[in-house]
Structure 1
Amino acid sequence: MDPTSCYQIILELIETHDYPEARTYAVILHNWLTNRGFYPDGYELERVDHVLAALLKPACAPNAIRTRFQSITCYDCDAGQDISSVKQAIDEGWTEIVGDEDLTATSHLGTCPICRMRQDQELLM
Structure 2
Amino acid sequence: MDPTTCYELILEYIESHDYSEARIYAAILHNWLAHRGFYPEGCVPERVDEVLEHLLKPACLPGAMRTRFRSITCYDCDNGSQIGSLKEAIDDGWTAIIGDDDLKVTSHLGTCPLCRMRDSQELLT
TM-score by length of 2: 0.91
Unaligned runs of 5+ in 1: none
* Aligned-residue offset at 1:76: 0.4
1:68 alignment counterpart: 68
Q: Deviations over 1:17-53 (max 9, x none)?
A: 1212211211111111111111112212111011111
Aligned residues of 2:20 and 2:91 also touching (Cα < 8 A) = no
- RMSD over aligned Cα atoms: 1.4
1:113 alignment counterpart: 113
- Say how many residue pairs are matched: 125
Unaligned runs of 5+ in 2: none
2:95 alignment counterpart: 95
* Regions of 4+ moved over 3 Å: none
For residues 70 and 13 of structure 1, the distance between their equivalents in structure 2, rounded to whole angstroms, comes to 30
1:8 alignment counterpart: 8
Matches within 5 A, 1:13-92: 13-92=13-92
SS at match of 1:68: coil
* Aligned-residue offset at 1:9: 1.4
Specify the code of the residue in structure 2 equivalent to 1:17: H
For residues 81 and 19 of structure 2, the distance between their equivalents in structure 1, rounded to whole angstroms, comes to 22
For residues 19 and 64 of structure 1, the distance between their equivalents in structure 2, rounded to whole angstroms, comes to 20
Identical-pair percentage: 70
TM-score by length of 1: 0.91
Q: Deviations over 1:64-114 (max 9, x none)?
A: 110112221101011112222212212222111111123232211001111
